[in-house]
Amino acid sequence: MRFVIVTGMSGSGKTQALKMLEDMGYFCVDNLPLELIGKFAELAANPAQEYSKVALGLDVRSLYKGGVSQAEKALERLLEIIDEYPHEILFLDCSQDQLVRRYKATRRLHPLSKGGRIEDGISAEREYLMPLRDVADYVVDTSDLLTRQLMGELSRLFSEDTGNGSLFLSILSFGYKYGIPSDADLVFDVRFLPNPFYVDELKHKTGEDKEVQEYVCQGGEADEFLERLTDLLGFLIPKYRAEGKRQLMICVGCTGGKHRSVTMANRLADSLTLGGWPVSVLHRDITRS
């Protein structure tokens, strides 16, 4: 039996994630009161029950009652309850700016804003949920994910494959000018490679275009870097898996996140896929100007 707890920031996509898990064959329950979570976990862990895959959605509203002191006790109690049963925690995160935009677009109140500023409610929730994020098995940042990309992430994370699929590799290209991804495990800087930005006919193309790829890879340094990086990851990845890590976020950065990082992230993904690892590729800043 696989018991998945889906939690995270309000507005980060927990409801959507539960719907996706339901489509994948999970029996899903959302937003149970704390008093019922223990009973639900007990039933889910019972080998006599008919469900082999169960997902429980946890909303901050289930825990944050009676003020901060009571909420902290509720969170401590929750962690005690779930620790009694085999489980996996999926924490959905999202940037502050994106969460504010989502609340503005839907015109909904944040559960902790109390009629005040949305930003204050988000900040309070993030601080409160940090202990849950720290113990999560998977952290997925949905700030720039399309629906299909989130579905792809969940499909890879909750595959029944017990081989290399027990560790899922996410490769993310990014631009340093927009900040290093907060969920990065490993970060590699490829700003030493030739920069197509300064070539007029390539400036407005991306690393998905063949001309850009050829420019970035000229001179052989990109090939040597890829070979050495693949060797390094070939050593590191089994070590991470042996330590029980289930998701590894490998980030490849250049200045703007459109040319060099995209080219090398795609090449790295191809190389690791040939090695038999399940890999997803995302380009965070490829559409930025």
| Structure confidence by residue, pLDDT tens digits, 170-188 | 999 999 999 999 889 999 9
Mutual angle of helices 96-106 and 118-134, in 10-degree steps = 130
Compute the average pLDDT of residues 134-139.
89
**Selection from 187, 158, 162, 165 nearest residue 279 by Cα:** 165
Which residue segment(s) compose the domain that 168 sits in? 164-283
CA dist 52 and 62 (Å) reads 25
- Has residue 108 got a pLDDT over 70? yes
CA dist 184 and 16 (Å) reads 24
Q: Are residues 11 and 128 in the same domain?
A: yes
Query: Which of residues 157, 185, 215 is at a domain's end?
Result: 157
Question: Does residue 288 belong to any structural domain of this protein?
Answer: no
Q: Are residues 81 and 224 in the same domain?
A: no
Query: Rounded to two decimals, what is the model's pTM?
Result: 0.58
> Which of residues 277 and 254 earns the better pLDDT score?
254
Which pLDDT value is given to residue 160? 60
Q: Are residues 139 and 31 in the same domain?
A: yes
Q: Are residues 113 and 231 in the same domain?
A: no
CA 106 to chain centroid, in Å, comes to 23
**Selection from 219, 234, 222, 214 nearest residue 265 by Cα:** 222
Q: Are residues 83 and 20 in the same domain?
A: yes
CA dist 159 and 165 (Å) reads 7
Give the count of alpha carbons within 13 A of 207, CB side only.
33
> Which of residues 101 and 37 earns the better pLDDT score?
101
How many of the other CB atoms lie within 10 Å of CB of 92? 24
Question: Does residue 51 belong to any structural domain of this protein?
Answer: yes
State both tokens at 53.
């895959």
Query: Which of residues 130, 157, 184 is at a domain's end?
Result: 157
Compute the average pLDDT of residues 135-148.
87
Q: Which residue has the tokens 């503005």?
A: 104
- What is residue 67's three-state secondary structure? helix
CA dist 120 and 27 (Å) reads 34
Query: Which of residues 140, 157, 174 is at a domain's end?
Result: 157
**In which element (H, E) is residue 210 found?**
helix 210-216
* The amino acid at 149: Q
Compute the average pLDDT of residues 237-260.
89
Compute the average pLDDT of residues 17-29.
88
Q: Which of 143-157, 220-234, 253-267 has the lowest mean pLDDT?
A: 143-157
Q: The domain that contains 27 carries what CATH number?
A: 3.40.50.300
Q: Are residues 183 and 207 in the same domain?
A: yes
* Number of domains the chain contains: 2
Question: Does residue 289 belong to any structural domain of this protein?
Answer: no
8, 58 contact by CB (below 8 A) = no
**Selection from 278, 4, 260, 219 nearest residue 14 by Cα:** 4
Question: Does residue 124 belong to any structural domain of this protein?
Answer: yes
Compute the average pLDDT of residues 234-249.
84
Q: Are residues 100 and 128 in the same domain?
A: yes
- Has residue 164 got a pLDDT over 60? no
CA 40 to chain centroid, in Å, comes to 26
How many of the other CB atoms lie within 10 Å of CB of 33? 10
CA dist 25 and 76 (Å) reads 30
Q: Are residues 6 and 103 in the same domain?
A: yes
